[in-house]
Chain A
């Protein structure tokens, strides 16, 4: 019994130590730094500077807006894919192959992938050429270096996270529940909205939280896809640390981003808890 306790302690201690050394301590250092000025004196000036004018609030707004759109887009693309893999693909082997295909984008480097998109989305890129050839638009439209490009780039790498979390929950839904709903006179589409979707909400919630936080902190994709014309929060943080060497202000921006993200997530979960899920599940 004693030995088993000791082992349990060691097993808990290792990841705990890892978290403390590589996350908690750097995090606290950052928080402390954000309350210091360049001379090491305590101050709130860094935070005051963020809200001094509309520049940084604007960047915050852009960051969260693009992250939200990227999350919604990832959901709209990811849910059907997850549904298809879980419910439509009969063969186990092909299902595994589908998962590999889904996570394929994650195999390539962020930078290479983004440059790939540059080629596809450019004025003479494949996307514009196809749209023009199909007669959908008259002349190439600007996609690259816009907010749309950032959303495309983000959604592309974030969809796999959405697919994996949603499909893991979809798998656990008992097929007989769907059959029971059909049996009781509910057509397929209505069955989906009354049974499958509400029961898969935990996966949607988990997936959207992962995707949203990853989108908020993304740096490489927005930087490359926007060509610097759209600024998201990760960029000034990066600049303050690497170019301006203003660690204190950079830290304040990072902490600000973290706090606002946490507040948004808390509000989201509160909304779900308060019956958002219940309302969707409700028979209307």
Chain B
């Protein structure tokens, strides 16, 4: 796919603080990209640089083959949905949405038509005469979205737009946003700290840490083959075991000394992190059949946590704690604290990460 948004070696410094450190990124036209990371990782900085609210210290942004250098925000082909919505309090919903087209030279009449189109796209047409303060959070969110798409931008930037909504509404909006994005064909760049939100909505996820993109790829790729320990920890739940390679070229947990009998072709003594996702770990009362490609450990159940659709079972063996996640309908749900069980996982489900 042709690169539609091309970010090259982008750097942003605030005094000595490096908010964004040599970030390069390509986004295809019509793609839904999520920038995912904890607060302070530089995701919002990257978004604001693309929008043009702040100046780059170094590097280059181009959109649709056109350099954004020295272009003020009002002349960029992007629009933003702000975290706090930033609706103009002295204008009605209709006026808010018509503001963009109006400032871009549309006549009063055609701006009103465009605004009505946008408002009906998000299902807010009936509220057009209201003022923003007369709307609920979710309604304001929709109006902010309508306002941002009224200009028919090539790129829509969304800065944690669902952060202020309650869980149920947020889940509903995730699906709606995704559908809307596909039907409009606008490229979305979506900033979030919520990994689930990123997984649900995005075509690709860029995981950021300390001003850098540490991994970029599809949700499944990132979940199943995280590039680093940080990514594995950030996306989904993970058993991350600090290991070192024993003399027989298998992994041994550093802290507890438990042998994982996972072969690894690194030099003996090198330190790595072993990742196995909780849902990959099976718990059974009887020892499973011995198989060359399974790791089996005898362990004691230390805790059981019911989280609705699933059950987390914490087990301990020789000082090593692991967590397994099983469907709450599973028979294994009958295990009790203190019970001795066997935990096992297929070696394909485990992954060795550099420390």
Contact = CB atoms under 8 A, between A and B. Distances in A.
Nearest to B51: A183
Contact of B103 (A176, A179, A185, A199): A185
A180 B82 contact: yes
B79 A183 contact: yes
B86 A182 contact: no
Interface string B293-316: 000000000000000000000000
Interface string B139-181: 0000000011001000000000000000000000000000000
B80 to A, nearest CB: 5
A171 to B, nearest CB: 15
Interface string A79-92: 00000000000000
Given A186-B103, A187-B72, A281-B90, A179 B53 contact: yes
Given A177-B86, A281-B90, A281-B91, A187 B80 contact: no
B98 A283 contact: yes
A186 B72 contact: no
B49 to A, nearest CB: 13
B95 interface: yes
B86 A179 contact: yes
7 contacts: A180-B86, A181-B99, A181-B103, A185-B104, A191-B74, A195-B88, A281-B90
Contacts of B87: 180
B147 to A, nearest CB: 7
Interface string A183-205: 11111101100110011000000
A283 B95 contact: yes
B102 A198 contact: no
Contacts of B100: 184-185
A183 B102 contact: no
A179 B87 CA distance: 11
Interface residues of A, number: 21
A53 interface: no
B84 A179 contact: no
Interface of A: 174, 176-177, 179-188, 190-191, 194-195, 198-199, 281, 283
A182 B88 CA distance: 12
B91 A186 contact: no
Given A177-B88, A185-B103, A194-B103, 20 more contacts: A176-B84, A176-B86, A179-B53, A180-B80, A180-B82, A180-B88, A182-B53, A182-B73, A183-B74, A183-B78, A183-B79, A184-B151, A185-B100, A186-B103, A187-B74, A195-B88, A199-B89, A199-B90, A283-B99, A283-B108
B90 A179 contact: no
Nearest to A201: B90
Nearest to A278: B90
9 smallest A-B Cβ distances: which pairs? A184-B100, A180-B86, A176-B86, A186-B103, A182-B73, A185-B104, A185-B103, A183-B80, A281-B90
Contacts of B151: 184-185
Given A184-B79, A184-B147, A190-B103, A174 B74 contact: no
Interface of B: 51-53, 72-75, 78-80, 82-84, 86-91, 95, 98-100, 102-104, 108, 147-148, 151
B89 A183 contact: no
Nearest to A198: B90
**Residue picked from A180, A186, A188, A198, most chain B C-beta under 10 Å:** A180
A197 to B, nearest CB: 10
Nearest to B100: A184
A182 to B, nearest CB: 4
Nearest to B91: A281
A184 B84 CA distance: 16
Contacts of B90: 198-199, 281
Contacts of A199: 89-90
B99 A184 contact: yes
A179 B51 CA distance: 9
A241 B103 CA distance: 59
Interface centre among A188, A281, A283 (most CB of B within 10 A): A283
Contacts of B79: 183-184
B107 to A, nearest CB: 12
Contacts of A198: 90
A181 B96 CA distance: 10
Given A174-B84, A283-B98, A182 B74 contact: yes
Contacts of A187: 72, 74
A184 B88 CA distance: 12
A281 B99 CA distance: 12
Nearest to A174: B86
Given A199-B89, A283-B99, A179 B72 contact: no
A179 B74 CA distance: 9
Contacts of A179: 51, 53, 73, 80, 82, 86
Contact of A185 (B74, B86, B88, B91): B74
A185 B72 CA distance: 9
A262 to B, nearest CB: 28
A188 to B, nearest CB: 8
Contacts of B89: 177, 199
A195 B95 CA distance: 12
Contact of B72 (A174, A180, A182, A281): A182
